[in-house]
Chain A
Amino acid sequence: QKEVEQNSGPLSVPEGAIASLNCTYSDRGSQSFFWYRQYSGKSPELIMSIYSNGDKEDGRFTAQLNKASQYVSLLIRDSQPSDSATYLCAVNDRNYKLTFGKGTLLTVNP
């Protein structure tokens, strides 16, 4: 059973701080990795994708991938109250089937 593990949280950070979200996956053949944000009552929204080892930055978001350690992370700089949501890590296996973690609830306190 391929698994994607995330801390369920809640993770609470003050406004302006860096929020760090982590994810590990079990399938060493995984090809591509994604972070989604889901507000309560809404559908998941793609915020980052990463395919290669290293860092990928997009605005306030940085995704980090370490395939040797089977680890993906998402950093949110200058966190805002509007960033408060559940963050879902998703991993594509070698058949391009997407498996999701259970999500980490992030709360940014003003």
Chain B
Amino acid sequence: KAGVTQTPRYLIKTRGQQVTLSCSPISGHRSVSWYQQTPGQGLQFLFEYFSETQRNKGNFPGRFSGRQFSNSRSEMNVSTLELGDSALYLCASKGGGGKYEQYFGPGTRLTVT
């Protein structure tokens, strides 16, 4: 099975711009979670989508939003970018059916200048 894929892998944006990141889960997985990883804060949970519905949400401002499509692909959007949004953004998919293991994609490295 192909793994989780994320696009783009690297992105450079300017403060105030917005960005959209994409994630395709492992085939058959319906849950997609997004995380932000920074050296200071570690891995922090942003949100989880399951069957096109947001199921869980972390403690991030409303500038961070997401959605999931009927094919389970997910997008994450960050509006009005700030320098502190520079991070590795990771998505992970989960299979369900009593299995709670999450498998990560390669991540998108976002740099805000």
Chain A interface (Cβ within 8 Å of chain B)?
A: 31-32, 34, 36, 42-46, 49, 51, 88, 90, 92, 95-103
The answer to whether B101 touches A44, judged by C-beta atoms less than 8 angstroms apart, is no
* A-binding segment of B62-70, B71-79, B102-110: B102-110
When A and B form their complex, what is the total count of cross-chain residue pairs whose Cβ atoms lie within 8 Å? Answer: 44
The answer to whether B42 touches A97, judged by C-beta atoms less than 8 angstroms apart, is no
Given A32-B100, A97-B48, A98-B33; A44-B43 close (CB under 8 Å): yes
Given A43-B90, A92-B100, A96-B56; A103-B42 close (CB under 8 Å): yes
| Chain A hits for B102, CB < 8 A | 34, 46, 90, 98
| Chain B hits for A90, CB < 8 A | 102
Q: How far is the CA of A36 from the CA of B37 in the complex (A)?
A: 14
